[in-house]
Each structure stands twice: as C-alpha cells, then as structure tokens.
Chain A
Amino acid sequence: MATILAVDDSASMRQMVSFTLKGAGYNVVEAVDGVDALNKAKAQAFDCVVTDVNMPNKDGISLIKDLRALPNYKFTPMLMLTTESGMDKKQQGKEAGATGWIVKPFNPDQLLKTIQKVMG
C-alpha cells in the first residue's frame, strides 16, 4: 500500500490527517515541520506528501521546493494544506513544485477525495 508523508506542526491536524488516511488503508508517516519532513523523506521513499504551509523551522513551500530537487521526488504528488486566505500561497506553492492543494478547513471526506485524485 502506498505510503504518505503527513506534515503539520499542529498535532490535532496531523492526527486527523493521519487517522483519515490510515482508515483508508494508506501507510502514514508524520512529521512535525519541514526539517523533520525533509529528513524523513530522505530516509524513506514516499508516494505522496501532504504538508501544511505555515510551520516553524521550514515552511511547507520551502519543503516542497527542497523535495522536488531530490531525484526521488521529481514526480511525487505533493499537496499543501492551505487556508482560503492563502491564495498567493497557492501561487508560491505551484512555483515551488506543489502538485495541488487542499483548502482548509476540510473534512476527512474531502481530504480522501483529493488524495485519491493524485494516487493511482
């Protein structure tokens, strides 16, 4: 089964994302910020990355940019979790190489639908 890296500095959001995806049968690895995620992504291959944008240490956009530069993550779907007020963030995310976004607030169904959209 596909393994997804879920990145969020908020524990409750992380739990929610992780719980939802695990419930749908995905393997999930959690990371608390961009730096943590980058380290984990280097140590293990992920089929998809779902990341929050606003995080300490390394934000989601910079994470996506760094991940895209890695040979293993050239074409990996990477989604950002962003609030509706972050339209400019979407643009920045796209430029960094984000595949798409999920607009907060979202419910588990919307999350799953979007994940299934990028996972074959």
Chain B
Amino acid sequence: MAIDMAQFHQVFFEESFEGLDAMESGLLNLDLGDVNADDINTIFRAAHSIKGGSGTFGFTSVSDFTHVMETLLDEMRDGRRQVTRPAVDVLLGSVDCLRDMLRAIQNGGEIDRTSVAEHKAALDGVVNGTHDMAREFPAESEHVGADTTMMTTMEEPAASEMQIVGWSIAFSPHLNLLKTGNDPVRMFRELAMLGELTSTVDMQGVPDIYDLDPEECHLSWKLKVLGDIASTEIDEVFDWVEDDCDLAKQAIYSAVAEPAPLAVTEQTQILKPASIEPITIPTVAQPTAAEKEPKKEESKTSASKASSSIRVDTGKIDTLINMVGELVITQSMLSLIGEHFELNKLDQLKNGLSQLERHTRELQESVMNIRMLPISFVFSRFPRLAHDISSKLGKKIELKLVGENTEVDKTVVELLSDPLVHLVRNSLDHGIEMPELRRAAGKPETGTVILKAYHRGGNIVIEVSDDGKGLDKDKLRAKAIEKGLIAEDAILSDKQCFELIFMPGFSTAEKLTDISGRGVGMDVVRRNIQALGGNIEIISELGKGSTMAIHLPLTLAILDGQSIAVGDETYILPLGSIIESLNIKEDRVNRVVGKGETFLLRGEYLPIIRIHEIFNVPKPKATKLTDGLLVVVEGQGIRCGLFIDDLLGQQQVVIKSLEANYRRVEGVSAATILGDGSVALILDIPGLVRLANQ
C-alpha cells in the first residue's frame, strides 16, 4: 500500500515544535536541588515522541540526534544520573539545535551539520562523562541479548551447508497464553503462509469438564512446516509468545545431503576477488538510497509550509456549533412567520429579527474567538531568554509572567513577538543593574522583570516592566542634542523626553552589547506596533525602573467603524481614531498660501483635508466648509480635520484586504462590505495626511 507520508509532516512539525517548547520550559523550570521525576518524564516524553515521529517519517538525522538526548534523559529519569546545571545547559542547547534542524527540514533548507555535530558531541560528552560505552546505548546491547535468547533451539547442527527443507516445531502454550489476546490458530495460519503446514494436537493436558477453565489453554501441538523458510521467519511468528509457551524448533534437512550448497559457498569463495564488487555495491548503495529517500520527502514539505494552521480549543468549536443551531432555529421561526404573514404578527417578526441579530452577533464573536490565541504563545519564549541573558551578563534576574492566558488575535501574536523580544532584552540588558550596583542602591540583588498582559476596553495591554535603573531624562536629552535630533533649547516634558528613544538613530546604550542594540532601534519597535494599529508608552522613574506599555486592538479582522458620507460614497473611519466632530465656523478657518486650510481648535491649528478632493468624489453635497462637518481624527500622533458631507452610523465592519484583492491605495487601509452589499473603503489617517501633503 503506497501512502504518501508527506501528508502527516505538517502535523509532525507542529507537534514537534510544541514538544520542544515543552522541553525547554521543563528544563528551565527544573529545580536542580530537588528534581521531580514527573518533570523529567515530561521532558523525556517530548524527546521520545519527536524521536518516534522523525524515525517514522524518515527524518533520520533528527531521530539519531534525539536518540542521544533521550538516552541522557532516560538516565536522569531513572535516577542513574545526576541532573546538573551543565547537563541542563547542554540539553537546552540541543533543544535549540533540534528546533533549527526541524525548521530547516520544514523549509526545505540545509541542516547545519557542523552545529548538529557540535551539539551531539556535547551530548555524548555528558553521556560518557561517567559512563562507559555499554551504558551509553543500553538499547542496543539489550536488543542483542533479547535476540539470542529469543528461542531455545533444540540442536543447531553446525551443518549450515545442508539444505533446510522445513521445520518441526514443538509448541506447548502455557495456561495463560490466551490471556494476552494471542491465539494459536492465528499463529498457525501465519505458519501456513510460510509453507506447507501439518499439525498434530496433543490433548492429554485437557482436564475433565468439571475442572476445565475455558479461558486457559490446555492443548499443545507438534507442527511441521515444509518449505524454504528462514529460522527468523519461524521466530517471528512466535515472537510475542516466547515467554508464554515452551517452544522447540528443529530444522528438517533434505533427505540426501546434497553437496550442491557446499559447492555454492566454495564457489563464492573462489570467486571472491571478482565478486567483491557485486557484493559491496548493494551494501553501500542501500544506505545511500535510504538517505536520499527522506531528503526527497523533506524537500516536499516545503510546499506545504506556507499553509498556516491554528489549534482551536474544542470548547470553542462546540460553542460555534451551538450558535449555528440557534441561528437555524431562528431562521426557521422567521420563515414560518413569513409564510402567512399578517400585520398582527408584526411583533413576532420584530422579536424574531432581534433574536436573529443577537445570534448573528454572538456567532460573529465566537468565530472571531477562534482566531484568538493565548499570549503565552509569545510569552513562553522569554523564560529562556531571561535565563540565557542573565547567565551571560552575570546578573540575577527573575522573570514573572502575568496574564499568560489573555487571548489575542493570531496575527497580533505573530507580529508582536519581535517587538516584545526587543523590549524584554532592553529591560534585561539595560534596565536591570549588576547585583553589586543594586545592593549599593539598597535594592534586592535579584532584579525583577514582569511581563504582563490584560484586557482593557477593546484593547489588550502588554507591559514590560523592570525594577532597574530607569530612564535618565537628562542623559536622554543630552544624547538627543548630541545626535542633533532636537534643538539645544528645546523644552520637553518628561513624557517627551522618554519618547526620544523612539526617534530613528537614537540609542541609549553607551556601547552596543551583543544582547540588545543589534541595530534594530526602538523606532522600529514602535513602527511595528503602530502597524498593528497600536501604540506604545513609557513610564519610568530614575532609579526605580521603567514600564513599557503596548496597547493593541483586540483583533485585526473586525473594526469598530464610523460610516461617513461624501457625495454618493460611503467611507469608514476607525472609531478609535475619531476624537470629535464639529460644525465649522468660517472665522476659525485660516488659509495659508500653498499649505492649504487649517482650522483653529483650542489653540491648535488642524490641517483640513477635504475627502471629496482627495478621492475626486463627484457631486459632493458640501463644498463650502460651513455646509459640511469636520471630523477631528488622530493617527500615529498626527491630528487633522477631515471635511465630509455627513456622519452616518457606527457599526462593526469586517476588514477585507484591498491589497490582496486589488492593490495598495494610499490613504485607504482596507475595504469592507456594507449591509446593502456595496463596498466601502476604510480610511487610513496617516496615509491621508501624506496624500494631502503631496
């Protein structure tokens, strides 16, 4: 049966990466003083599963590597080996190496063989540290042992040169043989498939009916199976019951001891010089063919790598099915009303419609919920990061994770990872001081970094806070002046001072370390977060620590929108970006030649952007500023006034990518479909400002 094993690869990779994460967090959480067998077992199991899977799916390099890890973990589990810090570090390194290997295979790339060899050598080093080779591979030695004791062969005539024409077997099952689900009938059937089978049953052991336990096996057999059958083929049939029976097998040789077989062996010996090639080729060629096979399969997986999948809690699916059920009931109720509609049923109809609305909303919410993943997907990598960095820098750091179960949209989870790593690194590297400095400052030697996630309103807030040295306003200021980012006499509030670190080209570290400051500045972090529709703020006190708070929208697929009318067109503004809307008084409008119009609002001059002009909307209802409305909006720190005809309603809209379906349009972030089936564009505030300035 030809089964394409590649179809299982995606699942294998996913569960292997999960297993590696479990191993990593398990290793990090090991209390070396008091190692819990259960914890080691969890780590062992993950390694074991990866080994089993990789072996089955043909990734031999991975299964070879995990075998060594497994050996080490097995010894730790059994208490044969002490769990030491160096051993744990080597295992952590191996987890990384394995992750790289799997990633390379998944993406059809090359495995870094030197790195694999190094890690394997490190593992071997730990394994061999106090143990000899026999200890290292208990599996193999046991295997050999088992093979030799497989069966008691009556007398194995050394006359292998004689032709074997069959086997005679004495098979006496123990009473309990049936209780393992084995059945002599099935075994005989197998023997019959090997050759011509004759059997003689011995019923002497059967007790009389009053003593007979029908669940026990009291029969024994003398079997004879004829044919050119290898000894191992017979062994295989009885492999599972070797301990549950008395078994003796004896080869039957051809009546006339023909010299022919002898001659054959002699011939091969004589021909040896010539036959070396044909003999060695298959033995060499086979492994290479086997090596090639998995490679082919491995490269195949690269095709499927682009398909991303998501693991959904079954509870969520159940809710969804429940909702759909409700919806179906409502629908049938409505169609019943519609069938013979009379005016006196109007109330019923209204009821039904409001029910439909409620169910649709609930359904929408639970569908959105499917895309939600706990933030622990991102947080889980940080304990390792903290462990590595603190040991590298010689700092004492405790990382606390709060609110790991807070759920965030999958896309947000994926895109949030890099900015968060940057922030946490900054805290670990620049925030927390060295132990002696902390002691001198009257703080505990161990610094604390807290990663916290929680919901607030329609937003999710993620905070990275530390009790380190905090941001030094004067230093920041001096640096910004030195770099020419601000004027020397610039007056800055505390908040503005902190914001300086987000300016391109600004870096607070006096010297770059290899931990943070890899050239990616905080400006990139902020840009990434803004791209997700969020923002980042800094709270810091000198000597006490800093907190970076990221505010993000809960989901990227649905938006609370405000519909606006311009001419016959409807546009959507993200509700969160609207500050206020007002009627325009002519005396507050200033016109600057070449710079357009501005509107004076509470001492601030807001540029006015006329939407109908920007998008060339024909027949706008309002062309005079006093006829329409001004919507004051803010996006990425830029405020402006949008001049429109009218405000329509507020509604949740489903975001449809314009880029994917059409192309990128400046000033427009996406599109959506309205209730009446028409398409409305969702406006992008920073883009509009850029467009207006052109």
Contact = CB atoms under 8 A, between A and B. Distances in A.
Interface in B300-314: none
B229 interface: no
B240 A100 contact: yes
Interface string A63-107: 000001000001111100101111110010010011111001111
Contacts of A108: 1, 3, 5
A101 to B, nearest CB: 7
A39 B305 CA distance: 36
A94 B190 contact: no
Given A16-B5, A85-B138, A118-B181, A10 B55 contact: no
Interface of B: 1, 3, 5, 7-9, 11-12, 14-15, 42, 44-45, 48-49, 51-53, 55-57, 63, 67, 70-71, 74, 138-139, 142-143, 146, 178-183, 186, 190, 215, 239-240, 243-244
A117 B49 contact: no
A112 interface: yes
Contact of B180 (A99, A104, A105): A99
Nearest to A86: B139
Contacts of A100: 182, 239-240
Contacts of B181: 75-78, 97-99, 118
Contacts of B142: 87-88
Contacts, number: 115
A19 B1 contact: no
A28 B51 CA distance: 25
Contacts of A109: 1
A99 B183 CA distance: 9
Nearest to A13: B53
A104 B56 contact: yes
A68 B179 contact: yes
A99 B240 contact: yes
Interface residues of A, number: 45
A20 interface: yes
Contacts of A106: 56
B12 A12 contact: yes
Is chain B's binding surface mostly helix, strand, loop or mixed? helix
29 contacts: A9-B49, A10-B12, A10-B15, A12-B15, A16-B3, A16-B8, A16-B57, A23-B3, A24-B1, A54-B44, A54-B45, A54-B48, A54-B49, A56-B42, A56-B45, A81-B52, A83-B51, A83-B55, A84-B139, A85-B74, A87-B139, A87-B143, A94-B180, A99-B180, A100-B182, A104-B55, A107-B56, A108-B1, A109-B1
Nearest to A59: B45
Contacts of B45: 9, 54-56
Interface in A26-67: 52, 54-56
Contacts of A9: 45, 49
A61 B626 CA distance: 82
A83 B53 contact: no
A54 B44 CA distance: 9
B3 A20 contact: yes
A99 B42 CA distance: 27
A11 interface: yes
Given A13-B53, A23-B1, A105-B56, A83 B48 contact: yes
A10 B541 CA distance: 49
Contact of A84 (B8, B71, B143, B182): B143
Given A13-B56, A77-B181, A85-B71, 13 more contacts: A9-B45, A12-B8, A13-B49, A74-B215, A76-B181, A83-B52, A84-B139, A85-B74, A97-B181, A98-B180, A100-B240, A107-B56, A118-B181
The 8 closest A-B pairs by CB, nearest first: A105-B55, A85-B139, A100-B240, A99-B181, A12-B12, A105-B56, A12-B11, A77-B181
Contact of B56 (A16, A68, A77, A84): A16
Contacts of B143: 84, 87
Contacts of B190: 117
A55 B52 CA distance: 12
Contacts of B11: 11-12, 15
B52 A105 contact: yes
A83 B48 CA distance: 9
A52 B239 CA distance: 19
A75 B177 CA distance: 10
Contacts of A11: 11, 14-15
A81 B49 CA distance: 11
Most buried by A among B7, B44, B190, B240: B240
A74 B213 CA distance: 14
Given A10-B15, A85-B70, A85-B139, A99 B56 contact: no
Nearest to B244: A94
Nearest to A99: B181
A88 B143 CA distance: 10
A20 B180 CA distance: 24
A109 B63 CA distance: 20
B365 to A, nearest CB: 28
Most buried by B among A11, A19, A24: A11
B370 to A, nearest CB: 18
Contacts of A112: 1
